[in-house]
Amino acid sequence: MLIVQHYDSSFMELERILETIEGYREEMVETLVEFCRIPALGPTSGGDGELEKAKWLQHKLESFGFYVERCDGKDQRVSTGIRPNLIVNWGEGNNRLWIFSHIDIVPPGDLKKWSHNPFDPVVKDGKIFGRGVEDNGQACIASLFALKALKEFEIKTRRPLSCTWVSDEETGSYYGVQHILREGLVKKGDWVLAPDRGNPKGNQIEIAEKNILWLKFTIFGKQAHGSTPHKGNNAHRTGADLIVHLDRILHQKFKAKDTLFDPPVSTFEPTMKEANVPNVNTIPGEDVFYFDCRLLPQYKNKDVLAIVREQVRTMQKKYRVKISLEIPQNESSPSTSADSPVVEALSKAIVKVRKVKPRVRGVGGGTVAAYFRRKGIDSVVWETNEETAHTINEYITNSNNEEIACNTITFPSSFYF
């Protein structure tokens, strides 16, 4: 068993590993293409789950000589009743590094707009096109080949490693990451890396998320003929006035800036509007609209809600209507400190392998890291990608062997040595 202790020798070792991984290149591309031929959509995306894809991956891992542990969620909405989660452990003991990739995908959208069949990935002009190649196929395959390299060089990592391939990331994580947390597998003192968001340079480490607050407003007025508005009470007018007021007041009251985030401010956006009346000449008796609020972590969701409720009361009086407020989502997420050891270790690895200077950043919200941070577990989100997740003609580049190979080795390289 090889245990490298000094920086110089470990650096030479790293060069050898990188060369070896370069040699995996064709095999990695083929494996990714085969992997992405198998759709894996959750039931709320109109699919039948991830089991077929997980079985394929498990078989692959076993053919590389790994023992695969399963921690499956149970879900009667899919025909098999199973939402599979795969784990391969490398090394024993506590203080593990977990790498969470997800095998499920989002639907391809309008097939006519794709230049290729999204479920038969095409390698062309140094790129690989297909649904799920970036999000999150490349990370799934990267972990697989990172393990292969560890085995080939018989490397004992500083921290024991758990590579994990989960279901249900795109539709709430209840049967994936949250299930693994409920089972108590990830513990305080462990580190988590989710290679599921990044940029083409590979120099961004996500350590924080804005709080998410979704608001649904329903205005109850009185329907009437379009020519006799005085006989009704136009719910749409109240709704429009409320939108304008909320937009102004929320931006005024919560105007702090934090350059960790892009944009550096809290955002308050009126988004979905439900249909009210189907014809022009009817005064709407009911009006429904939504706000999507993303708050800088220094603010509390409850303080926004207090202002919103005050505005609702004012509008109820002003227009003599009833307004109901529902809260479809209300999540706040603590940040991982920029000085935390996991950030330091990953930064070192990025400098060594990618030869770029990393920087920490925050995002608008919605990564699996939040579930771990709420449990006090330091978590980072990082990968190198083209930011094509969820788009038509999703792709990754393969031109200079950076995407897959460097992602593969960068994750654990700082933990190798």
- To Zn ion, the closest distance from the beta carbon of 390 in angstroms equals 8
| Contact mark string toward Zn ion, 93..132, x via CB under 5 A | ----------------------------------------
Of 50, 72, 75, 104, catalytic: 104
Q: Based on CB atoms, which residue is closest to Zn ion, 202 or 270?
A: 202
- To Zn ion, the closest distance from the beta carbon of 102 in angstroms equals 6
Q: Based on the residue annotation, tell me whether 104 is a catalytic residue of this protein.
A: yes
Query: Angle between the 25-36 and 51-63 helix axes, to the nearest 10 degrees?
Result: 160
Query: For residue 2, how many C-alpha atoms fall within 13 Å in the half-sphere facing its CB?
Result: 16
Q: Based on CB atoms, which residue is closest to Zn ion, 96 or 197?
A: 197
Q: Based on CB atoms, which residue is closest to Zn ion, 137 or 297?
A: 137
Residues in contact with Zn ion, counted by CB under 5 A, come to a total of: 3
| Contact mark string toward Zn ion, 240..279, x via CB under 5 A | ----------------------------------------
Q: 307 with 287: CB under 8 angstroms?
A: no
- To Zn ion, the closest distance from the beta carbon of 135 in angstroms equals 4
- To Zn ion, the closest distance from the beta carbon of 56 in angstroms equals 19
Residues in the chain: 417
Which 181-220 residues touch Zn ion, going by CB under 5 A? 196
- To Zn ion, the closest distance from the beta carbon of 23 in angstroms equals 28
Q: 173 with 136: CB under 8 angstroms?
A: no
Following CA atoms 178, 180, 184, 186 in sequence, which dihedral angle do they give, to the nearest 10 degrees? -100
Partnered with residue 41 across adjacent β-strands are: 49
Q: Based on CB atoms, which residue is closest to Zn ion, 136 or 397?
A: 136
Q: 366 with 212: CB under 8 angstroms?
A: yes
Which 129-158 residues touch Zn ion, going by CB under 5 A? 135-136
Q: Is 225 exposed, middle or buried (0-12, 13-18, 19+ CB in 10 A)?
A: exposed
Q: Based on CB atoms, which residue is closest to Zn ion, 190 or 196?
A: 196
Q: Based on CB atoms, which residue is closest to Zn ion, 296 or 396?
A: 396
Count CB atoms within 10 A of the CB of residue 38. 18
Query: Nearest-CA neighbor of 126 among 387, 329, 398, 343?
Result: 398
Of 75, 168, 169, 196, catalytic: 169
Give the list of residues 6+ apart from residue 128 with CB closer than 8 angstroms, or none. 29, 32, 33, 121, 122, 395, 396, 398
Following CA atoms 39, 44, 45, 46 in sequence, which dihedral angle do they give, to the nearest 10 degrees? 70
- To Zn ion, the closest distance from the beta carbon of 280 in angstroms equals 43
Q: Based on the residue annotation, tell me whether 26 is a catalytic residue of this protein.
A: no
Helices (H), 228-289: 235-253
**Residues binding Zn ion (CB under 5 A):** 135-136, 196
Hey, which residues are catalytic here?
Answer: 104, 169
